[in-house]
Structure 1
Amino acid sequence: MGDKKSLIRINYLLLLLLSSCIEKFVPEIPESDGELVVEGYVTDRPEDYVIRLSRSRAIDLKKSLPETGATVKILEGEAIEHPLTESADGAYVSKAGDFVGQVGSKYTLDIVTADGVHYQSSTERMIKTPAIDSVYFEREVRFTDVEDQLVDGIKILVDTHDPTNSTRYYKWEWKEDWEYKATYPNSYGWVPGDRITDPGHPVFNPSPNVFCYNTNSSKQVLIASTNTLEKDVLSRFEIKYINTLGGELASLYSILVKQYAITENAYKYWRELKGLSESQGTLFDKQPYALPGNVGNLNDPEEVVLGYFEALSVDEERIFIRREQLKELDFPTNTCYYEKIDSVNYWSVQDYLDQGYLIYGVGGFLASFVHMVPRDCADCTYHGSLEKPDYLP
């Protein structure tokens, strides 16, 4: 028995000795700036033209690496130069009014990085974009991606056509805004007392945070071609689907759809990038292989540059959708309706305020209690910004 115990002790000591000699192996990952990424275009609208430069993200990084200190300009034709100013890290801007793109003119993006590397895009001629015929919505029930349950919603659709049959390749972007309305606005504030002889009292709040606003923009590639069709006509192209689980359709919703005519080469690029991004992640994450665009290193044609500079004319249309227009849709019950509206006596109000409650209403005449609800049901800033876009009614 003694020999057995001695053997166990020896094995244990050997294990301790071996473990003390083992060091954690951390593989060295070589640092790399990645490929240059170019995002931006010039349009025929008097707006800020922004060219964003960055380096493609390494697998272990969560944020892109901005390319700062570059000299960026847009060449118009063969003689006119429009310089851009770096307004933020990697963002180079031509302010509205500096110049406006013209249909039929040719544009080239010219970049010289801080370390002297010269990049240039192919020359792009701005072609005329046909007008949008209509932007509208239709109800549709779909399965959710996560829980595989049926939910109600609407799809935003666009119709367009080119009577000259010369466009054939289209791209869209959208920007949406929606209004959030607080279920139980915090109509009263609270004046605290000494908590010994005076608990405090409610005071009317003339400006409760009732309406707040959110905005979002497209991040997917939206393209279509009529090249295989007899006529240059697109009908019922889906721009976006919105279900009733979120708050977008709860009060007032607006979407601005921008339409662009693009070249065949641009269409091929966006089509391939769309396939890559849908299988891997966002547009300029590290991809299984590098997809070159129309920008290149003038001194090293083998270097891969991501992104595609375009010269685009624009047609756009905005629609507004009010909750009253969606009466046939099934909306989930507002969770705030399930929240218990607590009737709280004056002596307990401060405790509730400390827990994140707000005062929704007061008791009757000479009553010494108030009605309180959680902050997310009473203050709209919990769900958005008080700043209302100018174009919303």
Structure 2
Amino acid sequence: MPINKILYILTVCFFIQGCTETYPLLTNTYEEALVVETTITNELKTQEIKLTKTAKFEDEKYQPEIGAQVFITDDGGNQYDFKDNGEKYISTIEFQAVPDRKYQLHIKTADGRSFESSPETLTTVNPIQELNASVETQDDQRGVAIKVVSYDPNRKSNYYRYEYEETYKIIAPKWTSASMTLDKNNVLVPGVNSPDLRVCYGDKKSTDILLTNTNDQNEDRTNYTVRFISNKNYIITTRYSIFVKQYIESLGAYTYYRSLKEMSGTQSITSPKQPGILLGNIRAVDNSKSKVLGYFDVASVSSDRLYFNYEDLFPNEAPPPYVEDCTPFCYTDVISSGNPCTHVLFNDYKGDLERGRIIFFMPALSNYWVYTACGDCTSFSSNIKPPFWID
């Protein structure tokens, strides 16, 4: 569930007498609040701050808070200004959070509301020691467990948050140079498929809030499963890569993210068991009635990237199922027990062609077809090779 939606649900609970009774989530219960999402890190880069307005329960999109004056100050007398680029606020210069310095976020919206965070300091720096992948069985499902290993001998890290972006190579299993298209007279015209339709790359970012802590351990050591992928998932069929970021969080930030995670898993905001009020570290300066949700997070970060091929972990094993059933098929006037064709010509053929659902398979199998994804991976992914990709 998106953070903005979670925070809006919480706002509804707060404004409707704590949600102690069932209440219909109607648009007329909506009260706008500013939502702040940001993590300032020790990376030397242009830092980002996302400002939005709480969405109505039925809304699918969120309105950005535009035209605000946004800046960060530190106790060394420095000010870092941010400019609105339409989706986020981007720092006008590159900078990084450094140890033993206090940072404070300041926001003044276009309609005159002012907000500021509590002063926050950079957490201890603790790099990822290892990122590895191994075959395991979890919840009766065999697959690949990707784990992050870290260790802080000084026991100053304690609270960890993770994000990842995964990228995977896709090879269309039934690509062929032969193609067929339907002209304006509904006549099949032979052509040639481009080789660029054969190899693609997909990518996804983590959406869950991934947290762990070492408070109940003798050492400040992590071996955290950041991602588990079923061996039936097509994304690991050929070659897979994952880029992981590890944030060391303060107790306040960890508590905030943990509460947010618990809310995202709440079955109903009208149930007797309520998660309570999510308290951040940002407050209204000049108007106590101005509502603000979110957390100004100052955290050290480290990152690592891992690659593996399917055959590295599952040697001599059949690959996972593809996104489509790629068994070649043919069309017939009448389906019968002695006829190898499984699709009805009159009902399916023209419609499938017009919708681009099928492509010609190969001349050796005259009149046999496969679904488009089986021969053209660009139908659901990109054939642009990422600049970081290593084969």
Q: TM-score, normalised by structure 1?
A: 0.77
- Read off the aligned partner of 2:208 and give its amino acid letter: Q
More moved, 374-383 vs 326-335: 326-335
Q: Which amino acid aligns with 2:372?
A: R
| In 2: Cα distance, 1:129 partner to 1:84 partner | 25
Partner of 2:379: 382
Match of 1:307 in 2: 294
Relative distance call for 1:363 and 1:370 in structure 2 (3 A) is farther
Residues 170-319 of structure 1 aligned to structure 2 (within 5 Å): 170-190=160-180, 202-234=190-222, 236-280=223-267, 289-300=276-287, 304-319=291-306
**Is the alpha carbon distance of 1:68 and 1:288 closer, same or farther for their aligned partners in structure 2, counting shifts above 3 Å?**
farther
User: Could you give the per-residue CA deviations for residues 76-107 of structure 1, whole angstroms, max 9, x where no partner exists?
Assistant: 33522111111124x21126x53233333322
Q: Give the Å deviation of 1:224.
A: 2.0
| 1:84-103 superposed matches below 5 A | 84-89=82-87, 91-94=88-91, 97-103=93-99
Aligned-partner SS, 1:178: strand
Once the two structures are superposed, the pairs formed by residues 1-393 of structure 1 within 5 Å of their partners are: 29-30=27-28, 32-89=30-87, 91-94=88-91, 97-143=93-139, 150-190=140-180, 202-234=190-222, 236-280=223-267, 289-300=276-287, 304-327=291-314, 331-334=319-322, 336=324, 339-342=327-330, 353-354=353-354, 356=356, 357-363=358-364, 369=366, 371-393=368-390
SS at 1:73 equivalent: strand
Q: Secondary structure of 2:28's match?
A: coil
Farther-moved stretch of structure 1 (334-343 vs 44-53):
334-343
* C-alpha distance in structure 1 between counterparts of 2:379 and 2:181, whole Å: 23
C-alpha distance in 1 between matches for 2:383 and 2:113: 45
Deviation at 1:296, TM superposition (A): 0.7
> Cα offset for 1:223?
2.0
CA distance in 2: counterparts of 1:40 and 1:262, whole angstroms = 13
* Residue 142 of structure 1, CA deviation: 4.0
TM-score w.r.t. length of structure 2: 0.77
Point out where structure 2 has 5 or more consecutive residues left out of the alignment: 1-23, 269-273, 333-345
1 CA distance for matches of 2:262 and 2:184?
65
Which structure 1 residue ranges, 5 or more long, are not aligned? 1-25, 144-149, 282-286
How many residue pairs match? The answer is: 345
Instruction: Identify the residue that residue 19 of structure 2 maps to in structure 1.
Output: none
Change (3 A) 1:27 1:80: closer
Q: RMSD of aligned C-alpha atoms?
A: 3.3
Cα separation, partners in 2 of 1:374 and 1:121, compared to 1, 3 Å: same
1:162 to 1:361, Cα distance in 2 relative to 1, 3 A: same
Q: Higher Cα Rg: structure 1 or 2?
A: 1
C-alpha separation between the residues in 2 aligned to 1:318 and 1:34?
A: 40
Deviation sequence 1:245-270 (CA, Å, 0-9, x none)? 43221111111111122112112222
The Cα shift of 1:127 comes to 2.6
**Partner-residue secondary structure (3-state), 1:361:** coil
Asked if structure 2 preserves the Cα contact closer than 8 Å seen for 1:152 and 1:330, the reply is no
Contact 1:256 1:319 in 2 (8 A): yes
Instruction: Report the CA distance shift for 1:110/1:335 in structure 2 as closer, same or farther (over 3 A).
Output: closer
CA 1:355–1:221: 2 relative to 1, 3 Å? closer
Find the residue that maps to 1:160 and give its secondary structure. strand
SS of 2:190's equivalent in the other structure is strand
Q: Secondary structure at the match of 1:317?
A: strand
Counterpart contact for 1:183–1:336, Cα < 8 Å: no
Distance in 2 (CA, whole Å) between partners of 1:27 and 1:164 is: 48
How many percent of aligned residue pairs carry the same amino acid? Answer: 27
**Taking structure 1 as reference, are residues 339 and 191 closer, same or farther at Cα in structure 2, changes over 3 Å only?**
closer
- Asked whether the 8 Å contact 1:33–1:55 carries over to 2, the reply is no
Q: Distance in 1 between matches of 2:25 and 2:309?
A: 56
SS in 1 for 2:234: coil
What amino acid is aligned across from residue 43 of structure 1 in structure 2? Answer: T
Cα distance in 2 between the residues matched to 1:208 and 1:291: 49
Q: Deviations over 1:127-161 (max 9, x none)?
A: 33212111112223345xxxxxx543212111111
Using the alignment, how far apart are the partners of 1:332 and 1:176 within structure 2? Answer: 17
Contact 1:151 1:245 in 2 (8 A): no
The 1:206/1:387 distance shift into structure 2, 3 A limit, reads: closer
What's the CA shift for 1:273?
A: 1.8
